[in-house]
Amino acid sequence: MQRITIAPSQINDNYISLTPEQHHYLTRVLRLQTDGQFQAIDGTGQLYLCEIAAANAQIIQLITPLVGELPPPITLICALPKGNNFDDIVRACTELGVMTILPAISDRTLLVPSPQKYQRWCKIAQEATEQSERLTSPTVAEPRALQRILSELPDRSYKYLCEARGEHPHLLTCLQSSQLIDLPIIIAIGPEGGWTPAEIQLALTHNFQLVSLGRQILRTITAPIVALSIVTAAIEQILVPKS
């Protein structure tokens, strides 16, 4: 059944005030008639079974999902790559369960994106949330300088800076030696050309641990997907009871 994302403010009593875009999508694109059913998520973990009712929608039932979000919130700090590659990073990492995406302007960032780019990333995250049947939409922040991002992170968290060159422990090894469920997890991915020595030192002063993603040198678009895959696999291994 098709899902759409709504804002909690759209709910009034047992009805959802659909935006013109949402109503057009449901009735014109999906061709749902009056009483046609769909699912709605409000971005906070609630899932509703709804049906079309004239220009709005009526909530029929609050659904208890079979699968929820991963227990520890995962934050991705990613230096902005060239071109439109960040679109694919947002899409894939949303599907993999990231809760917060922090686009970073690093020393080697070539272009600062326009406000339209930021709005596009938010839209991509929403669409990926619906497609992957997640219940909570990740937060995509506006691009900021790396130094500012690091200064605002919570102290109590697992912080890993992925660095392609050097003798660093593998991310998976570090995750397996941590409790994971009790604290947020923060992963930082560098730009094309990697982090500068000054940026690595800055991360170390903010209690990041340098980690490797393996022997290969990964592209900026590939590294976040690999890192998030490792994190979610490590968490799910803890959550799923061993037979």
Say which CATH number the domain at 134 has: 3.40.1280.10
Structural domain that includes position 87: 74-239
Q: What's the confidence (pLDDT) of residue 243?
A: 47
CB 113 within 8 A of CB 143: yes
Considering the chain, what percentage of its residues have pLDDT values greater than 70? 96
pLDDT in tens, 156-198: 899 999 998 888 999 999 998 877 777 899 999 999 889 999 9
CB 210 within 8 A of CB 200: yes
Q: Which pTM value belongs to this model?
A: 0.83
97 in the same domain as 57: no
Q: 242: which 2 tokens? A: 């061993």
Domain closes at, from 63, 94, 113:
63
Backbone angles phi, psi at 44, to 5 degrees: -115, 5
Which helix or strand (DSSP H or E) is residue 51 part of? strand 47-53
125 in the same domain as 162: yes
Number of folded domains that form the chain: 2
- Provide CB contacts within 8 A for 242, sequence distance 6+: none
50 in the same domain as 84: no
pLDDT in tens, 70-129: 778 999 999 999 888 999 999 999 999 999 999 999 999 877 888 899 999 999 999 999
Is 69 inside a domain boundary?
no
CB 143 within 8 A of CB 102: no
Query: Strand pairing partners for 72?
Result: none
112 in the same domain as 219: yes
pLDDT confidence tier of residue 242, bands split at 50, 70 and 90:
low
3-state secondary structure of 138: coil
Over 80: is that where the pLDDT of 231 sits?
yes
